[in-house]
Structure 1
């Protein structure tokens, strides 16, 4: 009986990881395509979005900046992603290269990141993002 419960738990965890991976990919696609409706639904009301330059935005200010073209995302490449569950949250860490135009200036940002996803009445939503620039060795 105990082994069956462990197997069920492992299957549930794997399903959650797949859901978060799918949402992360869809979020990045929406950022490139400017799909504001999807992003609006994906981010929690109290989202904290901390950029690699140390500045931070709320959901409202981040989405407004995207609408105004402050950030125009052109592509993402990620690697070394790891997930861990903490209650009704999933913490994702990894490395990401972002091809982005910031205030008209094209940039390739190499960052370590952490994103936090929370399960709620609207399914899984991102509650926090933080990235820190690094240079390739």
Structure 2
């Protein structure tokens, strides 16, 4: 395993931990300014919209990534793998279970890997 892949696995683990801890500062620091986040239902958010949803709409109860296929090209990387999440809607208290395949692109900037794109697709039955 290359050093870059180990670093990317670590940053993704930190991102998942920040989601579950409700740590907006840590999460925001891992996101590129031009983030594009495609939700499971097809909605598209930029960084501002994604962070607003994180702060105002969702509580992340559990976030688990399965085996990740990570490919790097210099300062760019693509990460693909399963994602399961358990969320609570802040307003209603409704719990949502998510099973997805997630594709992420990452860009190294100033020595740090930043998430530039996240696209979630439902797991086929």
Residue 63 (structure 2) aligns with: 76
**Distance change >3 Å, CA 102–CA 56, structure 1 → 2:** farther
Give 1:94's match in structure 2, choosing from 81, 88, 92.
Answer: 81
Deviations 1:49-100 (A, max 9, x none): 11011001110111011111x1211112222310001342110001111111
Give RMSD over aligned pairs.
1.5
Give 2:27's match in structure 1, choosing from 36, 39, 45.
Answer: 39
TM-score w.r.t. the length of structure 2 is: 0.91
> Whose radius of gyration is greater, 1 or 2?
1
Give 1:105's match in structure 2, choosing from 85, 94, 104.
Answer: 94
TM-score w.r.t. the length of structure 1 is: 0.83
- Please identify runs of 4+ aligned residues in structure 1 that moved more than 6 A: none
Gaps of 5+ in 1: 1-12
**Counterpart of 1:45 in 2: which secondary structure?**
strand
Aligned pair 1:29/2:17, yes or no?
A: yes
Q: Which has the higher contact order (CA 8 A, sep 6+)?
A: 2
